[in-house]
Structure 1
């Protein structure tokens, strides 16, 4: 009876040890999300411009200047700018290499000291070698993204360029889609209607992620990921 209890205790400890090791291994194999370095913050409030009061009766105020004969365009911190996101990147590469090398050696004896020609017969040595190698490789990648987002000017750089950033969140039932964008805009690239194409924006950062049941369903469970990384094949 004591031996049976001892065996059960050992089996329980062994099972607990294996389970703990599997759990710790699974914790180390949790999926990591690739991070996009979107400029922070994604919104900004207009900065109050303090200008000395001028009592000359003029209606012009330098701190609140807006061109009279010009469409509204983003130019100050806190202004909004609509971005037409059209990003398409494709790349492909192919390589082929072939190497072939062959050689042959042939030798024969026609005479030896104190031996006649008849004694030698057709004594000879020959050899040949051939080496061949052929290899092919190829890779292809294609990404396409399109959408529209209204961003906010979060900083005006010394050269007049605008640093913009924005975020859009859409929630439906238990799912939420988040779109974040940031980049650097030359004011001269802004089109009528206060919009600009993403192709004319420098240092573009675009991030779209989902949260909720739909996003969780696309992930591999921790136990499946553990065996996927543990098995050699």
Structure 2
């Protein structure tokens, strides 16, 4: 018994000694990429036209180069519902006539000996799950890569410092330049392989988390 208590204490201590890493601002994973300066050769031709940063009259200010900034309009709405119901029943009834020997009933204390067995099993299960999420807002991200087919890989984060802690939004993904509007914005549902993370740190976020002991009782390590 003492060894069992020591093993349980060791498991609980292990769960408590490995807390999740808290996110911090300026994570290198979400750091912007600054465009490298380009050396332009000055040709004394008497003109203000530049072949490096030229623009025609039909172009706009959409992001298309490494290090450019795009504003992502967060328009995420998800809803899921699931219902399940199961019923199971089984009933058995086995009986045998009184035992006989030499043409007479076998008795015990004057009562005939017989055998009877009955069992009944019933199971009913009903489950229902509903989940709905909504995220709306804006976040500006940097272009970190330009793929050979012209698609743009973007990433960025935004931190808000509040009275009870900090809240942050992080986003990574790939988008097509054609989906960027003339105002240099793109909807989040147009971003492929999107990873959107919205959470917080501080006392307000910690109050919504389970303690390590409660997490242990709700984990698969709890055998009961």
Change in Cα spacing, 1:93 to 1:19, as seen in structure 2 (3 Å) is closer
Distance (whole Å) between structure 2 residues aligned to residue 218 and residue 96 of structure 1: 31
Identify the residue that residue 205 of structure 1 maps to in structure 2: 195
Q: Contact conserved, 2:141 with 2:155, CA < 8 A, in 1? A: yes
Q: Contact conserved, 1:87 with 1:198, CA < 8 A, in 2? A: yes
Q: Contact conserved, 2:12 with 2:213, CA < 8 A, in 1? A: no
Cα displacement (A) at 1:66: 3.6
- Kindly report which structure 2 residues correspond to 1:82-101, keeping only aligned pairs within 5 A, or say none: 82-94=71-83
Output the TM-score relative to the length of structure 2: 0.65
Output the TM-score relative to the length of structure 1: 0.63
Identify the residue that residue 44 of structure 1 maps to in structure 2: 33
Highest relative contact order (Cα 8 Å, sep 6+), 1 or 2? Answer: 1
1:176 aligns with 2:166: yes
Cα displacement (A) at 1:99: 9.8
Q: Which has the larger radius of gyration?
A: 1
Higher helix residue share: 1
Distance (whole Å) between structure 1 residues aligned to residue 176 and residue 216 of structure 2: 49
Change in Cα spacing, 1:42 to 1:205, as seen in structure 2 (3 Å) is farther
Structure 1 gap segments, 5+ residues each: 1-13, 101-131
Identify the residue that residue 105 of structure 1 maps to in structure 2: none
Cα displacement (A) at 1:94: 4.5
Distance (whole Å) between structure 1 residues aligned to residue 54 and residue 134 of structure 2: 40
Q: Contact conserved, 1:96 with 1:135, CA < 8 A, in 2? A: yes
Q: How many residues align?
A: 188
- Kindly report which structure 2 residues correspond to 1:1-233, keeping only aligned pairs within 5 A, or say none: 21-22=8-9, 24-28=11-15, 40-50=29-39, 53-94=42-83, 139-227=129-217, 229=219
Distance (whole Å) between structure 2 residues aligned to residue 95 and residue 217 of structure 1: 32
Structure 2 gap segments, 5+ residues each: 90-121
Q: Contact conserved, 2:179 with 2:186, CA < 8 A, in 1? A: yes
Cα displacement (A) at 1:142: 2.4
The superposition leaves residues 38-93 of structure 1 with CA deviations (integer Å, 9 ceiling, x where unpaired) of 99344111122345554544433233234444331101111111110001122334
